[in-house]
Amino acid sequence: LNSAANPDIYFVSSQNTAFPGVWNNVDIMLGSPTNSVNQIYGVAFDVNFDTSLIQMNSAYLVYSASFLNAANQNVQFRKPAFNAQKIYAASVRVDGNNVSGSGKIASLYFKVKPTIPIGTVLNISISNASKINKSASISSLAAGSSSIQIIKNTVGINESALLQKAVHFFPNPASKLITLV
């Protein structure tokens, strides 16, 4: 859920949920089908997150092919500053041409601490967002934020049920084949 009415740069998550103890990700979008970003040569922004909820040094950005970086030639910058609760980011074209468009430009990957209670809300935001055109004219971009609810990971084996049943295998030792009962 993004806070700004029509942000230029914002997060998109398929469920606005995250699981503790495993890798999660949200996409970073620039522009939208109804709000294209025009005459852009590069973008710079900060990704902000709560280090009390995120595992130490587990937040990072991965840039993707996009309207801004179609040939995957951009100079891309990402500097995690975990203690400052942010990642500094920038992506700049190298071909001398402005572009216009919208879509996913990167993904934020992170691990929620495994001890975080279910139902906790992780707030992430983008700040200090700006774009530059090929003439070096800089303008600010409206930045969005998102609230992600920590939920129980429903994929896996119920450990308590496993402990209640004994699993046996034979022969032991085995060289090629074992049987589980």
**84-131 pLDDT, tens digit each:** 999 999 999 999 999 999 999 999 999 999 999 999 999 999 999 999
- DSSP bridge partners of 131: 43, 139
CA distance 45 to 39: 17
Burial 74-104 (b: 16+ CB within 10 A, else e): bebebebeeeeebbbbbbbbeeeebbeebbb
Percentage of residues in the chain with pLDDT exceeding 70? 82
pLDDT range class, residue 15, cuts 50, 70, 90: confident
CA distance 175 to 178: 8
CA distance 38 to 102: 9
The answer to whether the CB of 144 falls within 8 A of the CB of 7 is yes
Beta strand 121-132 with 138-140: parallel, antiparallel or unpaired? antiparallel
Q: Report DSSP state, residue 52.
A: T
Q: What is the pLDDT of residue 107?
A: 96
